Amino acid sequence: MGEAKAVLTDIEGTTSSLSFVKDVLFPYARAQMGDFLRARSTEAEVQEQLVAVSREVGQTLDLEEAISRLVSWIDEDKKITPLKALQGLIWEAGYKNGDFTGHIYKDALEHLRAWHEKGVPLYVYSSGSVYAQKLLFGFTEFGDLNPIFRGYFDTKIGQKKEAESYAKIAREIGESPGDILFLSDIVEELDAAAASGMKTCLLAREGENEPPAECSHPVARDFSGISLAN
């Protein structure tokens, strides 16, 4: 079949620790939401999202009601567009303040850089917004990694467990699905990618993700176990 001509990678559990998002980013946004909105509610991009919150619930909310609703959405792990947008703005402030850095596994960094240097185009597909993806890779302990990626995709292109999403990404990239290798820690996402014709590899990191007893995808414990010829 030959080597993949492009690599499409997930973030959480693949390039980066699941716990970074769950234990660092989400709690930070929850803790900062009230103070952030009270301080910046008059800014146009924040006002736009507050209007979207009211639209989402079908009634006009005052600032404190909007804050309460947004915090409850975080607690319920809702994937709602204005929440994701506001979380991104809060995370941007946190990254720039040095409150945390974007986590990336060293093995992921080394292999992504090596592929990039070989001329292999790299893309990201995550349920987090493109904005949040760029922040995570832009403020890592290894510096700004955004230059190694050609493009980013989020759920605006489609859900990650639907084959058509991967077909759309292949068209956007301009490669045949069979020439793209998709990396993820979620079997159902890999199933969808494979259904579109993509090559796949399951990341099953020690202590984070155990592969199923029977797996139809190649399995790697870290990026050193990934072959572009999968």
- The CATH number of whichever domain residue 91 belongs to comes to 1.10.720
Given 97, 124, 159, which residue is the final one in a domain? 97
* pLDDT tens profile 137-146: 999 999 999 9
Given 97, 129, 159, which residue is the final one in a domain? 97
Please give the pLDDT value at position 230: 67
Number of domains in the chain: 2
Give the C-alpha separation, 80 to 82, whole Å: 6
Backbone angles phi, psi at 102, to 5 degrees: -65, 130
- Same domain membership, residue 124 and residue 88: no
H runs (alpha helix) in the chain: 18-19, 26-40, 44-57, 63-75, 81-97, 106-117, 130-138, 163-173, 187-196
Q: Is the pTM higher than 0.85?
A: yes
- Same domain membership, residue 119 and residue 173: yes
**Mean model confidence pLDDT for the chain:** 95
- Same domain membership, residue 70 and residue 54: yes
State the residue for tokens 């893309």: 123
Backbone dihedral region for residue 207 (phi beyond 0: left; psi -120 to 50: alpha; all else: beta): left
- Same domain membership, residue 44 and residue 125: no
Confidence of residue 114 (pLDDT cuts 50, 70, 90): very high
Q: Checking DSSP bridges between strand 151-153 and strand 122-125, what pairing results, if any?
A: parallel
- Same domain membership, residue 151 and residue 61: no
- Same domain membership, residue 160 and residue 74: no
Given 97, 114, 144, which residue is the final one in a domain? 97
- Same domain membership, residue 110 and residue 25: no
Helical axes 63-75 vs 81-97, angle rounded to 10°: 90
